[in-house]
């Protein structure tokens, strides 16, 4: 009888030990697959040179994404802060559609350019977030039709990858609707 009790106690300890190992494995597995509320968003960048030439691309970056949502990051006029210098604009060039070029240069040690084209008068929202989804910079302005380039100064930021979220809303006619998406910018000093 005594041997059965020892076996039972050892088996109980063994079961507890196995359950603890499984639990620790599950916790570690969850941490490895952890994503932000935007999904696994900081997976890569589109590498560009100082002239905007694409050296290598990330298929998830700098494209219109009809299904992509802000997931809780919104701007209103009162939230807008001017952290970008005034844009360089060519309002004598009239794009037939919305477009955004990848930030250049990227990766960057200080500042990069973000170029976009608007076919009509639009509200432009640009937000830069870090990997913790904290807003680093934001801009909300109205722009006329044309080609615009804004400069983002990342010189005060740590080495990391940041997400540029953009949204253009046709407020004049509604004909062009909404264009939104995102791209990643890597700061390397």
Listed by start position, the domains of the chain span 1-34, 47-187
Q: Measured between alpha carbons, how far is 166 from 114 in angstroms, rounded to an integer?
A: 10
Six token digits for residue 9: 């106690």
Do residues 50 and 112 touch, judged by C-beta distance below 8 A?
no
Q: Which residue has the higher pLDDT, 133 or 5?
A: 133
Before 55, cis peptide (omega within 30)? no
Contacts of 156 (CB under 8 A, 6+ apart): none
Predicted TM-score (pTM) of the model is: 0.68
Among the residue ranges 3-12, 14-23, 70-79, 118-127, the one predicted with the least confidence is 70-79
Q: Measured between alpha carbons, how far is 54 from 24 in angstroms, rounded to an integer?
A: 43
Under the banding of pLDDT at 50, 70 and 90, the label for residue 37 is: very low
Contacts of 110 (CB under 8 A, 6+ apart): 153, 154, 155
Q: What is the mean pLDDT of residues 129-137?
A: 86
Instruction: Check residue 77 and give its pLDDT.
Output: 40
At the top level of CATH, the class of 47-187 is mainly beta
Q: What is the mean pLDDT of residues 57-81?
A: 60
Instruction: Check residue 78 and give its pLDDT.
Output: 41
Instruction: Check residue 20 and give its pLDDT.
Output: 57
Query: Would you say residue 55 has pLDDT above 90?
Result: yes
Q: If residue 134 lies in a helix (H) or strand (E), which one and from where to where? A: none
């Amino acid at each position: 009888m005594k041997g059965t009790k020892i076996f039972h106690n050892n088996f109980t300890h063994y079961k507890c030990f196995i359950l603890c190992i499984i639990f620790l494995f599950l916790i570690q597995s969850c941490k490895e697959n952890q994503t932000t509320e935007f999904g696994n968003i900081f997976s890569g960048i589109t590498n560009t040179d100082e002239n905007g030439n694409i050296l290598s691309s990330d298929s998830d970056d700098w494209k219109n994404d009809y299904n992509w949502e802000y997931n809780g990051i919104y701007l209103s006029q009162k939230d807008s802060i001017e952290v970008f210098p005034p844009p360089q604009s060519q309002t004598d060039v009239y794009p037939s559609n919305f477009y955004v070029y990848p930030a250049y240069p990227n990766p960057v040690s200080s500042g990069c350019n973000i170029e976009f084209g608007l076919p009509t008068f639009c509200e432009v929202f640009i937000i830069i977030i870090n990997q913790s989804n904290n807003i680093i910079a934001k801009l909300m302005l109205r722009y006329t039709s044309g080609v615009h380039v804004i400069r983002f100064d990342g010189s005060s930021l740590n080495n990391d990858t940041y997400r540029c979220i953009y949204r253009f809303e046709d407020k004049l006619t509604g004909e062009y609707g909404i264009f939104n998406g995102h791209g990643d910018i890597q700061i390397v000093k």
